[in-house]
A and B are shown apart, each in its own frame.
Chain A
Amino acid sequence: EIVMTQSPATLSVSPGERASLSCRASQSLSSNLAWYQHKSGQAPRLLIHGASTRATGIPVRFSGSGFGTEFTLNISSLQSEDFALYFCQQSLQWPLTFGGGTKVEIK
């Protein structure tokens, strides 16, 4: 099983600042990595797939990068609606696995 590790667990950021979230895989994923945003009581929303491709309708302030085992989600200028939980998921092989998540909170 591929273990996904996200850091930090919590990120305190002021509105308008940049946030950088990390996701590490226990083995190479190539580019088979997705990022999601999850707000309490709502369905998770796909942000990024293929490590760096924005999903339809996702603002350009969200960007993904990385390859292999190290991946990053950047949010260039945090808006009020961006404060949420973010998690990564590997789509390379069964069983599909997720990172533990990074909570982005208002500083």
Chain B
Amino acid sequence: QVQLVQSGAEVKKPGASVKVSCKASGFTFTSYSIYWVRQAPGQGLEWMGWISPYTGNTNYAEILHGRLTMITDTSTSTAYMELRSLRSDDTAVYYCARGATTAAGPNWFDPWGQGTLVTVSS
């Protein structure tokens, strides 16, 4: 079945970097975009960015520009999200999600990964 499986929880110190993986299965990886969303404790969902595995094109949320990189490895059908210069307010559950249609750009999501808790603490 179509699914996204994310890497495990991470604990990082302020200023460090984190890289979360999202392995896709059950569909043609290059046909659908991958999106990243996060949810800080007690907060709503925040869209982080988008990547097309086919073209490598990306679009990042303005607030994260300069600290965020998204890449894909089409040989393993895996997407990666790297966030640098971590701060305490980056503590959140990070989700990857597949675009529900093959259209590149704004989309809704289906399915989502199970989430990866990233804790930033000294």
Interface positions of A (Cβ within 8 A of B):
32, 34, 36, 42-46, 49, 55, 87, 89, 91-101
Contacts and interface: CB of A to CB of B under 8 A. Distances in A.
Contacts, number: 58
Contacts of B115: 43
A89 B35 CA distance: 13
Interface of A, secondary structure class, is: loop
Contacts of B110: 46, 49, 55
A46 B109 contact: yes
Contacts of B35: 96
Contact of B44 (A43, A46, A101): A101
Contact of A98 (B44, B61, B105, B107): B44
Interface of B, secondary structure class, is: strand
Interface string B59-94: 101100000000000000000000000000000000
A43 B113 contact: yes
A32 B107 CA distance: 9
A49 B108 contact: yes
